[in-house]
Amino acid sequence: MAQQTIKFNISKDGLVNKKNLFNDDLSSQQYARVAVHTVLEELGIKVEEEWEMDDDSIELTVMR
């Protein structure tokens, strides 16, 4: 089975792939980042790369 690359983009306002991860306006980018990292770790999925982009977003690349 071939590995699949998945990218997550966490915007400065805390959106993950342009969707609200939480139901409030108080969730920061770092709060969303920690939540994504935690869920991926619990699923046994390793983050291959993490980049801080020019638009102040964070991009995570994982392999599954």
Segment 2-58, tens digit of pLDDT: 677 889 898 888 888 888 776 666 668 888 899 899 999 988 988 999 999 999 999
Q: What is the pLDDT of residues 11-23, one digit of tens each?
A: 888 888 888 776 6
Looking only at the bridges linking them, the beta strands covering 5-10 and 46-52 are unpaired
**59 DSSP β-pair partners:** 9, 51
Global pTM value: 0.74
Residue 27: what pLDDT?
64
Residue 58: what pLDDT?
94
Q: Which domain holds residue 57?
A: 5-63
For the chain, what is the domain count?
1
**50 DSSP β-pair partners:** 60
Residue 59: what pLDDT?
94
Q: What is the DSSP letter of 16?
A: B
Q: 54: burial class by Cβ within 10 Å (0-12, 13-18, 19+)? A: exposed
